[in-house]
Amino acid sequence: MILFPAIDLKDGKCVRLKLGDMATATVYNEDPAAQARAFEEQGFEWLHVVDLNGAFKGQSVNSAAVGAILKATKNPVQLGGGIRTLPQIEDWLARGLARVILGTVAVRDPELVKEACRLFPGKVAVGIDAKGGKVAVEGWAEASELGVIELAKKFEGAGVAAIIYTDIDRDGVLTGINWESTIELAEAVSIPVIASGGLASIADIVRMTMPDAKKLEGAISGRALYDGRIDPAEALAILRGEKPGPGLFEERA
């Protein structure tokens, strides 16, 4: 079970949004590369990066910051936001990314995603961001009529490395992950699922260790790490089974 610390990039800085609204950006670190090094030093083994500007523009905008991150950490990095063509995918993987995350293009052109999986096995993840149960695209600015599971099933057998599922209604507001819909998705497909949006406290970390969550590959944490609501050493020890977590229901009471 992997805990992915998140670096969301806006105008070259490490920020967090609330509910995907760019106007709510809080800057947590003006040096994303330094933040990447800090996460590695804290014991994290992966890094989740999103080019927020790129998600809205449809092409990479914060490529310099991402390049600095790749040089600053030995950890594998997955990147989403504005990656929508095969040449972009090839370029990013050549620069050292472990995975590209395809979101909008997964809705607009699922065949391109399947082709990318064929060309770059194990290197392509699909980002499914949902609001009210429907998939959102273009940096969450537009809603589609697609259901989450309906979209996910389009990629069964295609070789997708993981599905990153974000409940937009919970993102950045520390209300806890939508475990019900996340686990429902994980049980509906054979593709590994990563939970995103709303991770709030050690209670969510403990929830990751429950039997029904075992199918998940992990979860992404942003604001809760930056605000100090989650202690990295404690969280990682719980996920490794080295430390019992506090009572789940006591924590949530």
- What local confidence, expressed as pLDDT, does residue 170 receive? 62
Q: What is the rounded distance in angstroms from the CA atom of residue 65 to the CA atom of residue 13? A: 8
Our answer to whether residue 204 is catalytic in this structure is no
DSSP state of 247: P
Give 152-199 pLDDT, tens digit per residue.
999 999 999 999 998 877 655 567 888 999 999 999 999 999 999 889
Tell me which of 51, 129, 167, 171 is the catalytic residue: 129
Give 14-64 pLDDT, tens digit per residue.
998 776 677 778 899 999 999 999 999 999 999 999 999 998 888 889 999
Our answer to whether residue 167 is catalytic in this structure is no
3-state secondary structure (DSSP) of residue 239: helix
Range 1-20 average pLDDT: 89
- Long-range pairs of 132-141 with CB within 8 A, sequence gap ≥ 24: 132/169, 133/181, 135/107, 136/20, 136/168, 137/103, 137/104, 137/107, 137/108, 138/55, 138/56, 138/58, 138/104, 139/20, 139/22, 139/52, 139/55, 139/56, 139/81, 139/104, 140/20, 140/55, 140/168, 141/56
Give 94-138 pLDDT, tens digit per residue.
999 999 999 989 999 999 999 999 999 999 999 998 877 778 775
